Structure 1
């Protein structure tokens, strides 16, 4: 078996460490439902728990979601260990794997996911669209969304001879 490249392992471990550290700090620092502005009008830090996914989708399904996240994270690690991919794709898939594995860890360990970030700016947008406040999220969610956005960015780039074969 081919082992994952060191950058992939380091990236996933960094994602896990940063997300789990912020979550552990929030659990120690805040009471449930408490939030404090960090960037006034933009971002707050606090503590809530989520047994589902964003916008409370699949509420109460923490363990099945943890299993799904684990499968996604491990599958991406296996894929990245066996296939050469362009750097942007590798970064994107590493971010998605790290975020999926970190939220999976919460689900297995706690039966819920720790959410710590509230964006007033994103909430203003979703309220303007009639959808209420933007969900509270965590760094693992940021990693996953960033990875997906990088994949979308890469898909809009003109294929070159070298990238079309990778």
Structure 2
């Protein structure tokens, strides 16, 4: 668990530093290419969740995110899952707490990454850009994908009937 806490703290520190840097150096909705036609930086404040859902519910969302993040950390401390499940939950907790800090501190979440490819896809499907996101969001999404992968590839315990037949 000590390594996980170091990773957790380092990712939150990086997330918060990048948000502070973005507020100081970026202009709202002005794209600054990071990787040409792939990823740009911009400044957006979000008072809700992805695609503006629950807009204006920042404090409620921040409290829920904080409860989820701390709850996951408590679960990791007590139940000690291993491998991919463990690290996926560390990432999800990190992202939840990272965005909770913004919501509680600023009353909004700072986002800065604009993906040209993801926006191209969502424009074709929904006629709107993909949401602008941050490091905390990347942690939540990556952790969720890893958690799904962990559950798909986990060894299934043999059924009691198979064990008794042996």
> What's the TM-score once normalised by structure 2's chain length?
0.91
CA distance in 2, matches of 1:145, 1:69: 14
Residue aligning to 1:95: 91
Residue aligning to 2:39: 43
The 5-angstrom pairing of residues 119-134 of structure 1 reads 119-134=115-130
Maintained 8 Å contact 1:8/1:80:
no
Residue aligning to 1:108: 104
> What's the TM-score once normalised by structure 1's chain length?
0.91
Q: Could you tell me which runs of 5 or more consecutive residues in structure 1 were left unpaired when the two chains were aligned.
A: 162-166
Size of the aligned set, in residue pairs, is: 157
CA distance in 1, matches of 2:50, 2:126: 16
Q: Could you tell me which runs of 5 or more consecutive residues in structure 2 were left unpaired when the two chains were aligned.
A: 158-166
Residue aligning to 1:64: 60
Alignment equivalent of 1:145, drawn from 105, 130, 141: 141
CA distance in 2, matches of 1:66, 1:33: 24
Name the stretch that deviates more: 9-18 or 107-116.
Answer: 9-18
CA distance in 2, matches of 1:149, 1:158: 14
**TM-superposition CA deviations, 1:59-104 (whole Å, max 9, x none):** 0000000000000000001001111212211110000001100100
CA distance in 2, matches of 1:147, 1:124: 24
Deviation at 1:158, TM superposition (A): 4.6
